[in-house]
Amino acid sequence: MIAISGQSKKIAEVGEFGLIKGISNLIRASKANASAIELGPGDDAALFRTRPGHTATMTTDTLIEGVHFRHDWSKAESIGIKAMAVNASDMAGMGARPRVAVVSLGLKGTETDRWVFEFYRGALKVAERHGFAVAGGDIVSSPKATVVSVTIYGELSPRKPPLRRDAAQPGDVIAVTGPLGLSAAGARVLADDSLKLEGSPRMLDAHRRPEPRVLQGLLLRYAGVRCAMDLSDGLLGDLPKICDASEVYALLREDQLPVPHAVRWGFPDWFDLALRGGEDFELLFTCPPENLVLVEMLFRRWGCPPPIQIGEIQEPHERRAQIRMTHTDRRTFDVEPGAWDHFGAK
């Protein structure tokens, strides 16, 4: 028996991160958490051993109508693409190769069969592009909202360690695989009909059809990188997770942040939008400077856009903030960490 210490607080008060911590404690205390588990809750995906020396991983994510997508904003195919992409992105964040996906659909009953088939077409597109299979799943009735739940099983080759959140070292450079804020800007464009921006199509695409960085994840591991995660809660939502897990601090360089001009110029609150808005699905990683050279070489050889160095990992310091940023005028300021909490709690 496991003691439950919950205070019967409303989840909106506890917050997403408090909940996950409580669940992790329960799981760790349980006898069910057999020796099979190499890495439990708290990273992009769980790792477990399938046989001596071989590691597998599983990741699951649910999209809810009205929260993660709206039928009037996204076509079925895009929703299928996104549902599969966010899970493949978690695989990328571990440096794993996705192998097989299953899909669970909760349908209101007012969707058409065509909607379901277009959804699957989108899901299968992502699977085809990244070389994994869709093995089916189930369909249930969900009268109040369409619900899409995807789980992917993946494997890690035994040669190199997985990409973890707790492996950042002082002196590491901090880098990302692509631009930040496009998806959040896309959501803003969808929410406000009057917005007509130059970069809108790219923003909408980033929001509706994110591209998981599966190949980049594999290349990072190959290059000896040990610390990475995928950016789903925005740079300032996710970087603190690496800092917490690795017990390090971070210094970012504002002028190097890859926030596209269209986002900076289109939105007065671009800073929060781009760094806390989330759903970038780029990889955030840290490594010694010499590894970054190898990463750049491998990315170039495989046709990936070059990684962008955005700062460095530092020793924790009691009189400093966990995340600081250097402005173009060389002033350094503290940055409030945090994503937009999905339940409204901070």
Residue span binding a copy of itself (CB under 8 A) among the ranges 33-41, 156-164, 179-187, 295-303: 33-41
Region of residue 83 (left: phi > 0; alpha: psi -120 to 50; beta: else)? alpha
Q: Does 27 bind a copy of itself (CB under 8 A)?
A: yes
Closest CA to 277 of 149, 195, 192, 186: 186
Q: Which of 91, 107, 220, 223 binds a copy of itself (CB under 8 A)?
A: 107
Residue span binding a copy of itself (CB under 8 A) among the ranges 143-151, 205-213, 260-268, 300-308: 143-151
CA-CA distance, 15 to 10, in Å (whole number)? 9
Contacts of a copy of itself in 47-66 (CB under 8 A): 48, 50, 56, 58-64, 66
Quick one: DSSP state of residue 170?
A: T
Inter-CA distances, 229 with 42, 80, 163, 242, 283, Å: 11, 23, 7, 8, 6
Quick one: DSSP state of residue 254?
A: G
Contacts of a copy of itself in 65-84 (CB under 8 A): 66-68
- Least spacing, CB of residue 217 vs a copy of itself, in Å: 18
Q: Does 177 bind a copy of itself (CB under 8 A)?
A: no
- Least spacing, CB of residue 31 vs a copy of itself, in Å: 5
Q: Does 338 bind a copy of itself (CB under 8 A)?
A: no
Contacts of a copy of itself in 256-285 (CB under 8 A): none
- Nearby residues of 214 by Cβ (< 8 Å), 6 or more positions away: 88, 89, 91, 92, 97, 98, 130
Residue span binding a copy of itself (CB under 8 A) among the ranges 125-133, 261-269, 273-281, 295-303: 125-133
Q: Which of 83, 85, 96, 147 binds a copy of itself (CB under 8 A)?
A: 147
Q: Does 245 bind a copy of itself (CB under 8 A)?
A: no
Helix (H, G, I), strand (E, B) or coil at 36: coil
Q: Does 9 bind a copy of itself (CB under 8 A)?
A: yes
* Type of residue numbered 289: P
